[in-house]
Chain A
Amino acid sequence: MTESKRTSANQELIRAVWDEARDLIKRLEGSTVQRFSVEAGDTKIEIERGMPAGVVASAIPAAAGAPAEDSAPAGADDRHPIKAPLVGTYYGAPSPGADPFVKAGDSVEVGQTVAIVEAMKLMNHVQADAAGTVAEIVTVDGQWVEFEQVLMYLEPAGED
């Protein structure tokens, strides 16, 4: 009787630790934290994460609706849009006065930082999720962008 109580108490503890870990995983989406552990009593869960989800723009599910009118022109070409991974202020250069990350005509690789979106003083790097040539940058420095708003278009590689 007491033994079964104890088992169910332990199960509750394991469930609680797991819930906490799951919650942390969710909260860490978009961050660069790669390892963490949660423990209580004898129960410990260690998590090692791969490439943080959300840093590469392609990890984000497609928008159900266009966030702003200036997103993508209807019937747009086959240019590849790079979208804002979160709400914030757009910067095209690592610091004021510095050279921009990219300008029209530059070729970019997958994973290359092409811009920064600042949210509450945290600089979030926007990385290219495709290779190609920068065709057009449709955002200006200091502009406030919504989630998934198009920042720039790439001409996909190999189609020149």
Chain B
Amino acid sequence: MFEKVLIANRGEIALRVARACRELGIKSVAVYSTADAESAVVRFADEAVQIGPPAVARSYLHIPSLIGAAQKTGADAIHPGYGFLSEDPYFAEICTDEGITFIGPRPDVMEKVGDKATARDLMSKAGLPLLPGTVEPVNTVDEAHDISREIGYPVIIKAVAGGGGRGMSVVTREEDLANLYQSTRATAQAVFKDSAVYIERYLQTSRHTEIQLVCDSHGNGVYFGERDCSVQRRHQKLIEEAPSVHLTPETRREVGEAAVRGALSVGYTGAGTMEFLLDLEGNLFFMEMNARIQVEHPVSEAVTGVDLIQEQIRVAAGEKLSVTQEDVPLRGHAIECRINAEDPDRDFAPTAGRIDTYIPPGGPWTRVDSHCYPGWMVSPFYDSLIAKVIVWAPDRDRAIDRMVRALQEFEISGRGVKTTIPFHLQILDHPQFRSGDITTDFVEHFMSEQTAATAAG
């Protein structure tokens, strides 16, 4: 096992990783920019190193400073958290070259699964269903026309190297195809330095379903059920839950096993997530793989009882997974709300400022992952996530009731600081959310309903 782990991240996830290290008896090193000198993880970790100014390019993304801090403190591994350098094969490679274990998949594996076309090809071979479309990049307009006609409009053109909702165009009419094909390629080249695109059927309404897995370096892989993350606003997830109420136990097992098979077939190690679209008929289609721990991992922890960060660290140290598939029954229902420092009344504009009052919820089966405390300055330099509230209950209805109670209990205030708590409460109260029949366009519809109601009132 590692002696000391450096956490190349900030905010709640840095604290989450430091907590896992402490429980495993591993020393932790926090790194921080000058804006984060007073952060919770700096207080909590065994050591802390100031690595740069607030701008991420010179702090949390500045590889020499991170490597230097690891060498200085004698850390034998680096946990990248999510975001920042967590899916950067180049960073993983440098860590390896410097004799520091990168807690994640090997750089070459990360590169393979990060390329959407390669990932689709590999996962389709492992038996994961794909949407009708191409596995290989589409290289000419003529080819694009033939393929689109074959799979039927609407189609979506996607950058092979794309992500975060960028480098994608939906084509509903054949006459728009040529233009959108060219512009998507050009955008892909500019943004991702790779003009390759592929085409697949576009599902108008679907649910976002993803499967959590962890693989060790001894050829073992376990899936930890799925999460439904259909409550999204502009590709940003707001509420995640586990399990999905739309998956039968048979489908869950089949797809879970195929996902593990697919991951093992590319030599994947560590925690990862396979993203799928679930259509209204209950069919899953593989979209992409995320080679990192995700923000919403706690809902899977809540229904499986497994600490995923600890498993991630364990397998990176070369140990075997501490659980087998049989040890991972799904129990009850869990929901997570991502509380952001944003103003829902001003188009979710981030609100920075000092938090004066901070009283997190407690009580049974209620977990809060947050780096905030009274006096903490919500910085304009970083993302606006300030807390994740996770609740568990024996069933979905009671989990919703518990989340409503927890959010009503949560007090965060400060000059200029607004949070998404009121917005979350409105969604939780919505009959459609209660029914569970949520597709990825739900928030959009919900918001236009709200606007209409305000106008009418």
Residues of A within 8 A of B (CB): 2, 5-6, 9-10, 12-13, 16-17, 19-20, 26-27, 29-30, 38, 40-41, 43, 54, 60-65, 67-68, 86-89, 119-120, 122, 144, 146-149
Contact = CB atoms under 8 A, between A and B. Distances in A.
B240 to A, nearest CB: 28
Which range holds the interface residue count of chain B? Answer: 35 or more
B1 interface: no
A62 B176 CA distance: 52
Nearest to B56: A26
Given A6-B179, A65-B38, A146 B64 contact: no
Contact of A64 (B37, B57, B166, B186): B37
Contacts of B54: 61
B50 A2 contact: no
B50 A67 contact: yes
A119 B64 contact: yes
Contacts, number: 109
A63 B32 CA distance: 11
A5 B187 CA distance: 15
Interface string B164-179: 0010000000011001
Interface stretch (B66-74, B108-116, B324-332, B428-436): B66-74
Interface in B28-64: 34-38, 49-55, 57-59, 62-64
B37 A87 contact: no
B180 A5 contact: yes
B359 interface: no
A12 B183 contact: yes
Contacts of B179: 2, 5-6, 9
7 contacts: A9-B183, A19-B190, A40-B186, A65-B34, A68-B50, A87-B52, A146-B49
Q: Is the interface of B mostly helix, strand, loop or mixed?
A: helix
A120 B68 contact: yes
B58 A13 contact: no
Nearest to B57: A26
B439 to A, nearest CB: 26
Nearest to A67: B50
A28 B191 CA distance: 17
Given A54-B58, A65-B34, A122-B64, A13 B190 contact: yes
A17 to B, nearest CB: 5
B52 A144 contact: no
Nearest to A17: B190
A30 B64 contact: no
A16 B180 contact: no
B65 A29 contact: no
A60 B67 CA distance: 21
A86 B62 contact: yes
A13 B51 contact: no
